[in-house]
Amino acid sequence: MADRRRAWTVAKAHPSTDGPNSSASTSEDVSVRSEVAKPSQTAVSSNPGFTHNARVAWALVPALVHAAGSGATHTLWTITIGAMITYMLDALRFREGSLAVIWATLVLVNMGLLFSPHVWDPHRSVIHNLLIYGTTGQLFFLTGLWATLQYKWLHVQHTPFVMVCERVLFALSPVVSAVLQCWGIATATGAANAPFHLMCLLSVYYYLFAIPLTPSCRPRDKATTVGGKASAMYVQGPEEAATQAALFLFSPVLMYVTLHRPTLFEHMHHLWSLLLLASLPALFICFCSKKNALWWTNMSEEAVQATVWGVAACALVAAVAGLEGRVVFFAFQRFILVPQPWSWILVSVALYGVALLIAGHLLGSLRGEIGQPVAMTVMVTSAMATALAAGAPMWLMPAPFFAAVGLASFYSTRELRDYLFFVAGATISFAWFLTQHFWFLEIQLGSLSLRELCRYLLLELGLALAVPGLLGVGAPVVISTVVLATHGALLGVMEEQLYGGAHDEDDGLYPAYLIVATSLIGEVLVYQLHCRKLLHPIGTWILRCLYGAKLMILLVPGTYVLPSAFVVALATTAVFVIPTKEEAGPGATRLSSGAGLALVAGAFAALLAARYTLFDLIVLVTDHRPSESLVLGTVFVVTAFVAMALAERHYPNMPDPKRGVLMLMCVGLLLLLLRPPLPRALDAMWDTAHVPEDERDDVEVYGARPTAKAAWPAWTLLVTCLLGVLATTSASPAQSPAMQALYAVLSGAGAGVYISYEYFDGHRLLRIVVLSVTISTSLMVVFLQRPSASSPSWMPFVFAFLVAILPAALLAHHVDTTPSKGRLPQEEEAIVEEMRNTLIAFFTCVYALLAFSIKLKVSSLLLGGSTRSHKRGGVRRMHTPAHGGARPGHLKALGASLWAKQMSEFGLAWLPAVGNIAVILCFALSLVLNVGITGGADVSIFAIAPLLLLLNQDMYIFKGMGDKQRYFPLTAAVAVYLTLSSISYLLDQVAMGASMHSNQLMLLVKNTAAVAFTLPMHFFFNKFLWNGTRTSDLTLLCFAPLNLPPLLLADTSSIRWLAGVAIIESLAQYFMSRHVRLTGLKYI
């Protein structure tokens, strides 16, 4: 017992002084912390941070877009406001605050999805809805981990925590993202092919996350080994790698069996589908084994190699069989003119011959005296079998024969003559195929006839066959690049015509998966050729943009999509092609500001030119016509992301580009959310197939609604936000006070105009009040962040005006809405009550904004003042004697005097008290709103009480409250509110008086006793938070169980909440006391 008491006193004698308002902090504390922090700051600046952002973005960003789209408008509002607050806090270097806002935003968004019809669909079962909601919650949790890993100071100060976050992120991101994206694709295209979509997604994420990667930061201790590999040097653990491989192998198969269980044994194509779903993941894992993807098997390299080749051989046989039955005979049956069973035999010979050649090439066994004849024989056999299956006449047989012989010879000799034989034979064979099946048809596909398309196909084949020959004979890189670019452009145009011209038919000419396949194959080939320096860098960029733009055909079928998507891809990715100063090498200069502006302007112009494609995409996502402001806002948001990439790559340490990014993002998000009307002159930008939604058209047709509001004030709010950003993020610290005041007045006036016309239309007196309040609030906020020499002298009077105008506003509302005679009708009384609540909510937001701004300012001033006092040489730290953790009165007075001295240096000794008044007013008005809107719901106190965390230590109201007592007002407010609510309920029962029956009297006694049972734990816990007085474990054990009967037997929610909070507080006090004891034992 003595050891425990000693541990407790030692721990309390060395309190944490990390908070900015801690009264125990002295200049020597700051000196010690600053000396310790110097190497940490150096480590933070040299730490690269999280190095796997691209991989995680590939997984989480598409799933986040789908999840955000599943929410309602409030989801977008929450994300927008959270992103803006996070960006501003990060710009002001409040790292912990920005991180907390990120997590709070994600929690609110996840809670908002509870009201989304896309997540909670009544047509689905409750379990299904819960699974979807839980998976979405996991996605937001992973997003929070990803955001947490962006803070470099966490990598330095909390390395084990960062390693755990990184491991969890790599373990769960592939699974959660694949499930959500597969759900989204199945919702749009149907569930029949969902297992194949899941297999493709899992293959991408297996390649990104299963291949072993080094962590962003790791401790210096020795790494353990698994199978001869250093497992601790990898982000993934062996368990996660094995689980991901198992999910990749079995999930698509199990999903297919579950979906097609009723007809699984009725059709043969189910067998072929299962063969594909089972074999392709195994082949892909064998391919990834070259990159050490099977390190977790704890097998020797020889055993792994033998297992890989055995599994690959079996999987290749199964994959070819599945490809033959599920793709060849399912989609191309009409082109196989040989009757069964010869058709199956010939196609099998052809496909297995090609598979054998691919395997021989990978093994390197097609060269030499034995390999070359075998390869030629197999190639000739496969070519002849393909020609026979297609029904080629005998006079055509020399063409595939010479094509196969020429290709086999070219593989060994690399002579142009052999390759020309192959090109000639393949071209003649393909020309016969087109003539036999398509050339004679009179069909119009888009703007091309089928005959023109056949000519393009022949040209496409010639270009496709020319590229390998040019690369094989060592032609100049520029020629190969031009030919490959021409081939890619022609392929995209043909696919757009084929898919867009027949996509509405049940049996189209060109399936969608071929577009995906050609795009992915093109991307992989371009990447491989670029790595081998066989393509020009500019050509590589153009080709990758072209193959990526081809995928847009699937989303928006038409004849105009590919050019606009290609131009947008070029304009938005040009930032990544231009080398940075570091990449260009020594002597290079930074990208000029004019060139940077040209890149951003080019991206904006390209997006405007692609407005029809954006229009169709928004219709696809939202299922209704967008307004012009919605399309324009999308353009601004995408342009902001381009500018963000430009600022990060080329101007990393310059504030003006980041400021421009914030301006573009604010304009775009505000256009998306407010959707103000644009001038009628812009209607000429649209054609008859793309007519934006406009409320003014409805007014012209149906007439104006009686409750319609003016739309133009939305522009004032947009201008207000932009001016606010300019005022608070000015690049020049020495900006004149007059210019700051101008920004503040204009932004405040804009906000006031919007609020007054949107919520108080027709009430002139209230408009004047609102306008004056917004202007005064804007002045306070702006000059709090960037004070001038005279602002500390006049800001208290501005705040006094904001406090005094509250009763005046309520009086003005009463005068403006009360009739001179009689009473208002019931409908108008409800409108008046709603306006009163709106006015109170407006002042609540004003006081909350002021309290938050003052809290930030006080914290930054105290931290900066402590640093300066350390530089001048301050008072030495004085240790408190060890008696229960409470400091003597003379030390409290000393801490308060030092704190007051620091605030007086800036002329802002009044600021903490003003902030506390704002917090109290905000809290009181929130309680009034709770009564007016919800009738005084008990659960609302848990959302209102955190406002008290904004309280500061001051010299007038909360003189004795330091940083260690910051949670006391919160818990005390919850306990007092719930207790008063319970007492109010009991008084209502007592007021019944003589009308009470004996049963009701028993209920009164029971509830009164329930309230009494809950109060001791609240008293002990709040006493512990105020002065650190520890309650013994025996006392906690005696009083904590008393809260169980009220929790289970009370008749009102307030008593049950009071008991539940008391139980939580008892557990919290026990664990906090235990933590302090353990900390003290470490000192001993």
What pLDDT, in 10s, does the model give residues 1020-1039?
A: 888 887 877 777 777 777 77
- pLDDT above 90 as % of the chain: 7
Lowest mean pLDDT across 12-21, 305-314, 594-603, 1072-1081: 12-21
pTM, two decimal places = 0.63
What pLDDT, in 10s, does the model give residues 1035-1060?
A: 777 777 887 877 777 777 788 888 88
pLDDT value of position 765: 83
CB contact at 8 A, 866 and 902: yes
| The pLDDT of residue 606 is above 90 | yes
pLDDT value of position 542: 92
pLDDT value of position 601: 92
What is the helix (H) or strand (E) element at residue 713, kind and residue range?
helix 713-728
| The pLDDT of residue 619 is above 50 | yes
CB contact at 8 A, 568 and 634: no
Question: Which bin fits 654, alpha (ψ -120 to 50), beta or left (φ > 0)?
Answer: beta
Lowest mean pLDDT across 68-72, 344-348, 639-643, 705-709: 705-709
Q: Give the range with max mean pLDDT: 594-603, 758-767, 891-900.
A: 594-603
CB contact at 8 A, 281 and 200: no
Instruction: Select from 510, 483, 484 the least CA-distant residue to 495.
Output: 510
pLDDT value of position 366: 75
Instruction: Identify the band that residue 898 occupies on the pLDDT scale cut at 50, 70 and 90.
Output: low
What pLDDT, in 10s, does the model give residues 727-744?
A: 666 655 446 778 778 878
| The pLDDT of residue 11 is above 50 | no
Dihedral sign, CA of 223, 226, 227, 233? negative
| The pLDDT of residue 1009 is above 50 | yes
- Please tell me which residue, 370 or 527, carries the higher pLDDT value: 527
Q: What is the CA radius of gyration of the chain?
A: 36
- Cα 37 to Cα 31: distance, rounded to the nearest angstrom: 10
| The pLDDT of residue 559 is above 70 | no
| The pLDDT of residue 515 is above 50 | yes
pLDDT value of position 105: 86
pLDDT value of position 47: 58
- Cα 327 to Cα 517: distance, rounded to the nearest angstrom: 13
Tokens linked to 185: 């694709």
| The pLDDT of residue 451 is above 80 | yes
Instruction: Identify the band that residue 1003 occupies on the pLDDT scale cut at 50, 70 and 90.
Output: confident
pLDDT value of position 814: 80
Instruction: Identify the band that residue 579 occupies on the pLDDT scale cut at 50, 70 and 90.
Output: confident
pLDDT value of position 571: 92
Mean pLDDT throughout 955-972? 76
Lowest mean pLDDT across 53-57, 411-415, 599-603: 411-415
At 260 the three-state DSSP class reads coil
pLDDT value of position 21: 36
Buried b (16+ CB within 10 A) or exposed e, 1020-1048: bbbebbbebebbeeeebeebbebbeebbe
Q: Tokens 């968004």 label which residue?
A: 109
What pLDDT, in 10s, does the model give residues 452-489?
A: 888 888 888 888 888 888 887 777 888 888 888 898 88
The mean pLDDT value of the chain amounts to 78
pLDDT value of position 868: 46
What pLDDT, in 10s, does the model give residues 636-686?
A: 999 999 998 888 888 887 878 888 888 888 888 888 887 787 776 666 678
CB contact at 8 A, 788 and 741: no
| The pLDDT of residue 895 is above 60 | no
pLDDT value of position 232: 52
Q: What is the dihedral of CA 174, 179, 183, 186, to 10 degrees?
A: 80
What pLDDT, in 10s, does the model give residues 742-762?
A: 878 888 888 888 888 888 877
What pLDDT, in 10s, does the model give residues 483-513?
A: 888 988 888 888 887 777 554 444 456 777 7
pLDDT value of position 862: 67
pLDDT value of position 568: 92
Instruction: Identify the band that residue 604 occupies on the pLDDT scale cut at 50, 70 and 90.
Output: very high
| The pLDDT of residue 36 is above 70 | no
- Cα 668 to Cα 660: distance, rounded to the nearest angstrom: 12
pLDDT value of position 247: 92
Phi, psi of 1010 (to 5 degrees): -65, -40
pLDDT value of position 822: 59
- pLDDT above 70 as % of the chain: 81
CB contact at 8 A, 1062 and 978: no
Instruction: Select from 66, 76, 70, 64 the least CA-distant residue to 116.
Output: 70
| Residues β-bridged to residue 627 | 693
pLDDT value of position 218: 62
| The pLDDT of residue 937 is above 70 | yes
- Please tell me which residue, 695 or 975, carries the higher pLDDT value: 975
Tokens linked to 132: 């979807």
Phi, psi of 627 (to 5 degrees): -85, 170
Lowest mean pLDDT across 120-129, 324-333, 640-649: 120-129
Kind of pairing between the strands at 448-449 and 444-445: antiparallel
Mean pLDDT throughout 675-699? 69
Instruction: Select from 272, 259, 247 the least CA-distant residue to 329.
Output: 272
Phi, psi of 47 (to 5 degrees): -75, 130
What pLDDT, in 10s, does the model give residues 191-240?
A: 888 899 899 999 999 988 888 888 877 654 444 444 444 445 788 888 88
